[in-house]
Structure 1
Amino acid sequence: MTINEDSGSRKRRNISRGGGISRDIVTQRHPLNVKPSGNALIYNDSKLLAKKAHQLGDLHIFNDELLLDLLGFIDDEKDLKNLSHCSKVLYAFVYDEQLWRSLYMKKAFNELKIFKTKAPIYPLNISKWRGSWRKTMLGLNEEANLQLEENLLCSDVLFRPYQCSQINYKELFKDLIFEEELSWKLKETQNKKYGIKRISEDLLTNDLFNSKHYLKPFILTTDNKERWPTWTLDELCKRFANVQFRQEAVTWPLNFYSQYFAKNQDESPLYLFDCQSKAIKELSNEYKVPKIFENDLFKLFNTVTCRPDHRWLIAGPERSGSKFHLDPNFTSAWNANVSGMKLWIMLPPNIKPPGVGTDEDESEVTSPLGIAEWILSGFYNDSIKLALDGKCLIGITFPGECIFVPSGWWHSVINLEDSIALTQNFVPTGVLPQVLNFLKNKKDQISGFHLDDFIKSLKTFIKENPNIESREIFEKFLNDIANKEIDHEDIGELCSDDLNLPIYEFFIELIKQDENYNKILPNALEKLKQIEIEKLKNKPKTIVQSKIWDELTKQAIKTNKEPESAFSFNFEESDDE
């Protein structure tokens, strides 16, 4: 990729009518005049190479990626600042936003350990967000007006993140937005090939949802303009300015996050995704869950006050979003737009998203660093190809619309505008066997339950129900945990293998005692057996040790010699061949 030096600050981005996007995307010129690596192939000037090496000094022996990694070990912002003053090229390396963001996170984590808090300390003696991590940590209001000589520094490592931070999604997806905006106004999806179907809330009953629609995504529409809240971030800030909300790896007061929200230079802006703040309970009283999503088996955990995290407020600036993931504990979810537009890319459980790798149990997911990088690498176009084959759904939700995300569906979300949303996870009756399988056979992936709540609930439940079938299992767990330090930590951050949390058994007992759900349990357990049998059938075959060989080796051990009928390799020091 190269930049046309006479093209001005921006080129028009082309979008193909087939739904894919052009890979030839050119963004604003880098503020320091860093160029993509492709320019070095065209402008291969030995004088420039020598000048770059001179400005880097002994550091020139490292490639760009390794040099940035080395700079990441510097744990003092003043040292980084002083190093950047050594030369223009070093200034360009130290200008990297991810470097300063990582330094902030490192310092926050260190203070977390010192003060023994559960979230990074705010604000590391920082009172104001100044538009970038570097300016904020150094207390700068203005940047030096520094420009590198043409093609002095050609580096994708430095240019690519800036390019990703400047991507204009509205321009990039303008054809899709046009089509989906029409669908929103008409309350009917126009893209019949791979669009996400829209269904009126008035036409969808509980029976219809639980029998037909619980396995595939759809967008719930409504004529009721007061169906969902109309919060803006400014309105929420007036109510909860100093309340701490979680934004991925940090926890900030909402008024500080609103400053970051309004102006940042991140490749992947921080996404507020909070379920623990003091404001959540208050906000939850200002909306009502759609009736078709109220039938929720995980509500049984409410009766014993240990329900896993399931209700979130979401806020993110334009360009923020979430990479491909599966919802926790094999739950389904609904997500209602309060403001802004969200692009959804969704794939069924048996189709892996392009550019995403997982292990066999899908406990580890690897993908490009950010959403923009995923798109620029061509993976969005690969998703379009899958969509045309019926293996992917793509759509946009607008204010007042609510999307349903079925259990096990991969999904990635991009905020095309500054957005606020509500979401809740739940368990429809139709997926009970799969949820039981998850809780029983994927204990190391369970999350959202809190250890202190779980233990208190279990003790109370045993006391009130002394004759339950799983009593012995529960008491063993409580004995094993008796001498451990207990806190409100998410069990997803603990070692489930050591604790052997009996969440599956507890869930079974709760279903047995509920007159609405106990009738469906036998059938669900039978289907669970079928899932486990099918898993064993598909498990890769392992080498079975020969019984004859076992007997021969046992004899050899007894007589302290090699079995006569066995073949062996002997390598002695005297052997030359």
Structure 2
Amino acid sequence: MPHLPGMSNLISITTNCSSGCLLGDVIVPVANCGVQEYNSNPKEHMSFRDYISYWKEYIQGGYSSPRGCLYLKDWHLCRESTVEDLEDVFTLPVYFSSDWLNEFWDALDVDDYRFVYAGPKGSWSPFHADIFRSYSWSVNICGRKKWLLFPPGQEEALRDCHGSLPYDVTAPVLLDARLYPRSQHSSPPLEVLQEAGEMVFVPSGWHHQVYNLDDTISINHNWVNGYNLANMWHFLQQELQAVQREISEWKDSMPDWHHHCQVIMKSCSGINFEEFYHFLKIIAEKRLLVLGQGPEVFKDSPGPGLGHQQAAFDVSRLVEVLTSLITHPDFQRIDTSTFSLQPEELLAQLKDAMSSTAAL
């Protein structure tokens, strides 16, 4: 459980937000849980104050509203808030401190994968797996959640006759063998009841569907590190292959077809091969700096920061994935002449660092 110095204030703000609320004018993303848009819910944006007013009215209306069940999701509270005392809303649990996704996006100062979710009883998240096949963790600050979790591979039996995954794994339509021919072979999900103050860890590639059983506030992070970096790289290769299959009929007639595939991939997945290289580069540079300082610097270092042993492990995983990326035919088609550090040079530096570390 993370230390949450600011979250009691957030709960108080959530329940008592009025015209003087410090966060009242912050614009937050809100999903309509009662409307399906592809395999998700449509989102709108409103002020935090307006959402809290809606939430109170929803409760007073017996958990019903003509506006539907609205769920505040994917709120980048730490990044987007201008309130200084919310900059450190909580302390990251040591078990999840090796967090490359947020390390990368913090370095660019444009985004992050740290979220606050807040919604009434009955709000929910449709069936999905997390972005980039990252890990995720979720802590309930208040309220309860029910998780339906499917280990990797079990989702395949839930695909419909067109190969698409369901929006809602509890929907009766999944019993229709004509539409879902393999559903009878599906295994029941792992069901987890998460109480207030409890944390759920979701491994890479586990599809899940989540319900708020009470009015609930939670903190959620997505993250990648050396342990699941290969999963992320495998996922990105699958995403590119899916794009290439989708527009394969234009391969011979479309100029720069491979480049367009990368553009479409980034639009759909949030990252392409070029940006993945820059992700690896930023993570690698910090590890190389740490290893260059030697293990004695960190011998008596307190706290969970990046130490020599962790950096050495990270470099070994970076070498594996960067080697695979550099030799991938689609990466070799990318013009790397403008890169500040050529991929082969970075790989050589990482291998040298590995050799030096092994000799210690």
TM superposition score category, shorter chain reference = 0.5 to 0.7
2:30 is aligned with 1:247: yes
Counterpart of 2:114 in structure 1 is 311
**Cα deviation, residue 436, structure 1:** 2.4
- Structure 1 unpaired stretches of 5+: 1-220, 447-479, 482-490, 532-577
Counterpart of 1:330 in structure 2 is 133
Contact 2:155/2:165 (<8 A) preserved? no
Counterpart of 1:293 in structure 2 is 96
Query: CA 1:305 to 1:526, structure 2 compared with 1: closer, same or farther past 3 Å?
Result: closer
Q: Select which of 348, 356, 360 maps to 2:151.
A: 348
Contact 2:144/2:193 (<8 A) preserved? yes
Counterpart of 2:52 in structure 1 is 258
**Cα deviation, residue 513, structure 1:** 1.8
Query: CA 1:284 to 1:403, structure 2 compared with 1: closer, same or farther past 3 Å?
Result: farther
Contact 1:321/1:415 (<8 A) preserved? yes
TM-score normalised to structure 1 length? 0.38
Listed as ranges, the matches of 1:135-154 within 5 Å are none
2:10 is aligned with 1:229: no
Whichever residue aligns with residue 187 of structure 2, its letter is L
Contact 1:434/1:528 (<8 A) preserved? no
In the alignment, the residues of structure 2 paired with residue 267 and residue 251 of structure 1 have an alpha-carbon distance, to the nearest angstrom, of 14
Query: CA 1:356 to 1:522, structure 2 compared with 1: closer, same or farther past 3 Å?
Result: same
Contact 1:317/1:417 (<8 A) preserved? yes
Whichever residue aligns with residue 339 of structure 1, its letter is C
In the alignment, the residues of structure 1 paired with residue 205 and residue 139 of structure 2 have an alpha-carbon distance, to the nearest angstrom, of 19
**Cα deviation, residue 351, structure 1:** 0.6
Contact 2:229/2:317 (<8 A) preserved? no
Secondary structure in 1 aligned to 2:70? coil
Listed as ranges, the matches of 1:496-535 within 5 Å are 502-515=274-287, 517=311, 520-523=314-317, 526=320
Counterpart of 1:397 in structure 2 is 194
Query: CA 1:377 to 1:403, structure 2 compared with 1: closer, same or farther past 3 Å?
Result: same
**Cα deviation, residue 323, structure 1:** 1.0
Query: CA 1:243 to 1:520, structure 2 compared with 1: closer, same or farther past 3 Å?
Result: closer
In the alignment, the residues of structure 2 paired with residue 301 and residue 320 of structure 1 have an alpha-carbon distance, to the nearest angstrom, of 31
**Cα deviation, residue 519, structure 1:** 5.0
Q: What whole-Å deviation, never above 9, does each CA across 1:367-417 have from its counterpart, x for those lacking one?
A: 24xx8xx356687xx99x834xxxx31111111111111111111111111
Q: What whole-Å deviation, never above 9, does each CA across 1:124-160 have from its counterpart, x for those lacking one?
A: xxxxxxxxxxxxxxxxxxxxxxxxxxxxxxxxxxxxx
Counterpart of 1:16 in structure 2 is none
Secondary structure in 2 aligned to 1:513? helix
**Cα deviation, residue 492, structure 1:** 7.8
2:226 is aligned with 1:386: no
Contact 2:280/2:322 (<8 A) preserved? no
Contact 1:348/1:409 (<8 A) preserved? yes
**Cα deviation, residue 506, structure 1:** 1.0
In the alignment, the residues of structure 1 paired with residue 67 and residue 158 of structure 2 have an alpha-carbon distance, to the nearest angstrom, of 18
Contact 1:228/1:287 (<8 A) preserved? yes
In the alignment, the residues of structure 2 paired with residue 280 and residue 421 of structure 1 have an alpha-carbon distance, to the nearest angstrom, of 20
Q: What whole-Å deviation, never above 9, does each CA across 1:207-263 have from its counterpart, x for those lacking one?
A: xxxxxxxxxxxxxx69x8x67833152245533223211102111112222233232
**Cα deviation, residue 307, structure 1:** 6.2
User: Across the two proteins, how many residue pairs are aligned to each other?
Assistant: 254
In the alignment, the residues of structure 1 paired with residue 142 and residue 99 of structure 2 have an alpha-carbon distance, to the nearest angstrom, of 26
Contact 1:322/1:412 (<8 A) preserved? yes
Going by fraction, where is strand more abundant, 1 or 2? 2
Contact 2:76/2:114 (<8 A) preserved? no
Identity %: 23
Listed as ranges, the matches of 1:162-561 within 5 Å are 229-230=7-8, 231-232=11-12, 233-235=14-16, 238-248=21-31, 249-261=43-55, 262-263=57-58, 264-265=64-65, 269-276=69-76, 278-279=80-81, 283-302=86-105, 304-306=107-109, 308-352=111-155, 357=160, 365-368=165-168, 374=170, 386-387=187-188, 392-442=189-239, 494=267, 502-515=274-287, 517=311, 520-523=314-317, 526=320
In the alignment, the residues of structure 2 paired with residue 280 and residue 399 of structure 1 have an alpha-carbon distance, to the nearest angstrom, of 27
Q: What whole-Å deviation, never above 9, does each CA across 1:3-60 have from its counterpart, x for those lacking one?
A: xxxxxxxxxxxxxxxxxxxxxxxxxxxxxxxxxxxxxxxxxxxxxxxxxxxxxxxxxx
**Cα deviation, residue 496, structure 1:** 7.6
- Structure 2 unpaired stretches of 5+: 32-42, 59-63, 176-182, 244-258, 288-309, 326-360
Whichever residue aligns with residue 257 of structure 1, its letter is Y
Q: What whole-Å deviation, never above 9, does each CA across 1:540-575 have from its counterpart, x for those lacking one?
A: xxxxxxxxxxxxxxxxxxxxxxxxxxxxxxxxxxxx
Counterpart of 1:106 in structure 2 is none
In the alignment, the residues of structure 2 paired with residue 352 and residue 314 of structure 1 have an alpha-carbon distance, to the nearest angstrom, of 25
Query: CA 1:377 to 1:443, structure 2 compared with 1: closer, same or farther past 3 Å?
Result: closer
**Cα deviation, residue 425, structure 1:** 1.1
Secondary structure in 2 aligned to 1:256? helix
In the alignment, the residues of structure 1 paired with residue 269 and residue 156 of structure 2 have an alpha-carbon distance, to the nearest angstrom, of 28
Secondary structure in 1 aligned to 2:204? coil
Higher relative contact order (CA 8 A, sep 6+): 2
Whichever residue aligns with residue 276 of structure 2, its letter is Y
Query: CA 1:338 to 1:256, structure 2 compared with 1: closer, same or farther past 3 Å?
Result: same
Whichever residue aligns with residue 341 of structure 1, its letter is R
Query: CA 1:437 to 1:503, structure 2 compared with 1: closer, same or farther past 3 Å?
Result: farther
In the alignment, the residues of structure 2 paired with residue 525 and residue 441 of structure 1 have an alpha-carbon distance, to the nearest angstrom, of 21
**Cα deviation, residue 518, structure 1:** 6.1
User: Which structure has the greater CA radius of gyration?
Assistant: 1
Secondary structure in 2 aligned to 1:429? coil
Contact 1:340/1:420 (<8 A) preserved? yes
Whichever residue aligns with residue 234 of structure 1, its letter is T
In the alignment, the residues of structure 2 paired with residue 359 and residue 437 of structure 1 have an alpha-carbon distance, to the nearest angstrom, of 23
**Cα deviation, residue 330, structure 1:** 1.5
In the alignment, the residues of structure 1 paired with residue 112 and residue 241 of structure 2 have an alpha-carbon distance, to the nearest angstrom, of 17
Contact 1:443/1:496 (<8 A) preserved? no
Q: What whole-Å deviation, never above 9, does each CA across 1:462-483 have from its counterpart, x for those lacking one?
A: xxxxxxxxxxxxxxxxxx99xx
Whichever residue aligns with residue 506 of structure 1, its letter is H
Secondary structure in 2 aligned to 1:259? helix
**Cα deviation, residue 354, structure 1:** 7.2
Secondary structure in 1 aligned to 2:51? helix
Whichever residue aligns with residue 53 of structure 2, its letter is Q
